Amino acid sequence: MRINSKITSFIFRLLICGLAIVGLSACSLPTQPAIQATSWMVAPERSGAPRVPRTDYWLKIGTVSVAQPFAGRSLVYRLGDQRYEKDFYNIYSVMPSEMISSSERQWINKADIFAMAVGESNTFFPYYTLQASVDEFYGDYRTKPEAVVTVEFFLSASNGGKTNPIIGNNRYSKRVGLKDNTPAALVAGQQQALAEIFKEYEADLYKYAGNLPKPFGQ
């Protein structure tokens, strides 16, 4: 009995020592810092003199919808005809829909075409609304690297449902060559492409504003 007791005591001491060694080893393991995602903003700004105002009415910047898989905050790379990849370590500062809507409103306000361009959450109710659909917003790396942006605009008027509310719709698609494959180059290319689209649509919007249908009830 004394022999078994000694063996049991010895085994118990071994277990205690083993647990202590494991605990010390765990405490000494280096901790890996969490990988932080890099945030980017696409925000083209209009430069140059404003246009001569065409109307005293306000324009509401309505919904900007972004097609999948480009609607999320991750930068998107096209690596094959049917292969797209999201970069979870390089993200936009805000959702693309918010980012593009804000840039669009600021651009149109600087253009001075309408008396004011207001956001969707504004409590005022303008007679005219501009909505946009972003069909492409990615980097294409199948051959030479390019930023790809495609946007369609829909300008409409409030008419009480009596006629088709659409005044006009315009679609633009731009490809901008990138200097390299870095996320910074892609964001710069997307910003240039979006600026070119805004510039072209500004000219078309100016034409529409010169011949707007009368607001509903007037």
Q: What is the per-residue pLDDT for 159?
A: 72
pLDDT higher than threshold 70 for residue 12: no
pTM of the model: 0.82
Yes or no: domain 39-209 corresponds to CATH 1.10.240.10:
no
So what's the pLDDT on residue 101? 97
Instruction: Delimit the domains of the chain by residue range.
Output: 1-31, 39-209
pLDDT tens string 162-191: 667 899 999 999 999 999 999 999 999 999
> What digits encode the pLDDT tens for the residues 33-55?
667 899 999 999 999 999 999 89
Q: Is the pLDDT of residue 26 over 50?
A: no
Give long-range contacts, CB 8 A cutoff, 24+ apart: 102-107: 102/43, 103/42, 103/43, 103/44, 103/45, 103/194, 103/198, 104/61, 104/64, 104/130, 104/132, 104/198, 105/61, 106/45, 106/46, 107/44, 107/45, 107/46, 107/198, 107/202
pLDDT computed for residue 82 by the predictor: 95
